[in-house]
Amino acid sequence: MAFGRLERRQADAPMSDINMTPLIDVMLVLLVIFMITAPLMSSSLKLELPEAEGAQPTEPAPEAVQLSLQANGALYWGEERLEAEAFARRLAEVGARPGERPEVMLRADQSVAYGRVAELIGQLQQAGLNRIAFVTERAAEGSAR
């Protein structure tokens, strides 16, 4: 009486295909990393923004004007430095556009005098730009001021 088989099974053939799943996973992770870090590298102005705790915006504005005010008083419209006259002209152009006014995202160095920031806000409001957002850096966890 035989309880087992006498013939042998042939071994499985070696797999000759490359498994693409790990390569695709790595590429997707890299894509996500670049998508997150690309917007962070867009600003080249060196400002020391004040820290504040606050809510994150729920939805982005359709159009926004980026204004930056450096510690030395230099005023930037996006990445372009403007003198007072050129700034007033551009502000009048944006304020005269028909339709909804854009939101102004104001980035001011924390060492800029409050009076200068208030003066700039007054200019914006005179041009009809009433939606003003102050851009700050997120306060570090556990740091009390």
Cα–Cα distance, 85 to 83 (Å, whole number): 6
Domains contained in the chain, CATH given: 51-138 (3.30.420.270)
Q: 3-state DSSP call for residue 133?
A: strand
pLDDT in tens, 102-126: 888 999 888 888 888 899 999 988 8
CA 67 to chain centre: 14
pLDDT tens sequence across 39-62: 777 656 676 777 777 656 666 545
pLDDT per position as a tens digit, 55-95: 566 665 457 888 898 888 889 998 889 898 898 899 888 88
Higher per-residue pLDDT: 131 or 12: 131
Cα–Cα dist 45/72, whole Å: 13
**Global pTM exceeds 0.75:** no
